Amino acid sequence: MKLLIQLLAVGAVAGVGGALTRAVQWDTLPTLALGLASAALTLLVYVFVVGRTERRPVTELARAGALPALGLGALIGFAMFSAVIANLAFLGDYRVDGYGSASGAVALLGFMAAAAVTEELLFRGILFRIIEGRIGTWWSLALTGLLFGLMHLGNEDANLWGAIAIAIEAGGMLAAAYAATRSLWLPIGLHFAWNFAGAGVFGAEISGNEAPDGLMKGVTSGPSLISGGEFGPEASIYSVGFGVAVMAVFLWLAHRRGAIVPRRRRDRAAATASIAQ
């Protein structure tokens, strides 16, 4: 029941915020303001509803260490997307056709903040965390990663390979980031910076969605497996490769810290209690 209550509460606030943000049709300041407000309100609702339904401090959004975790996540996310673009450019599959739009980048800042916060709270903060407590880390990572990928099939230029790529490089990697840190701040920062670097800086399509120009007018070409095609560089084999590598590092850290929740019930209960402490 708590899973449903949390999903409905957070999803409702995020849905209204997303609808209002889209309604202003990328008008710079309204999109920025509504996006940031939606992100902040969704965080507050998450803390309130999780604290009330689980009767505990919401440590995964603790204020202590929030800024360093956000910063580290943002650094990782920006570095990853930059590495993907660098490899595409080396092959001649990405080029810059001039300057883009500073106002577009500002609007994307608010939009991507709301998207990163909303998706991390729903998929890692609620779904992954609660399901992990029942079936363990590995199965929860696989299941919620798959759901995260399938969700993107509703995007304008979505395709099955793009959804699979998102499931691995984002759904799996971000769940692993949470498992390693037991904090949502790092995956939120990583998610935001990945998306903003793609659309807001390099002018690429993100998950098959149309967006205004970012700081650059980026153009991708070449085989879809390399460039990502109409879905954008997230469907590039480079994105999948980097995502798997970073996911492996986070899972190694989680294992080293004893943060992997086992599948067996009696071992899972002991491990969950140890992690909470």
Q: Which residue has the tokens 């965080």?
A: 43
Q: Which residue has the tokens 């995502």?
A: 243
pTM of the complete model: 0.92
Rounded to the nearest 10 degrees, what angle do helices 102-119 and 185-196 cross at? 150
CB 246 within 8 A of CB 83: no
- What is the per-residue pLDDT for 209? 77
- What is the per-residue pLDDT for 274? 52
Q: E-assigned strands of the chain? A: 94-99, 216-220
State the burial class of residue 103 (Cβ atoms within 10 Å of its Cβ: 0-12, 13-18, 19+).
middle
Closest CA to 161 of 72, 87, 224: 224
Residues 6 or more apart from 100 whose CB is under 8 A from it?
203, 213, 214, 215, 216, 217
Residues 6 or more apart from 123 whose CB is under 8 A from it?
144, 147, 148, 171, 174, 175
Q: How high is the mean pLDDT in each 10-residue block of the chain (277 residues)?
A: 93 92 91 96 97 96 96 97 96 92 94 96 97 95 96 85 93 97 98 96 85 89 92 94 97 96 64 51
Question: Quick one: tokens of 62?
Answer: 């603790």
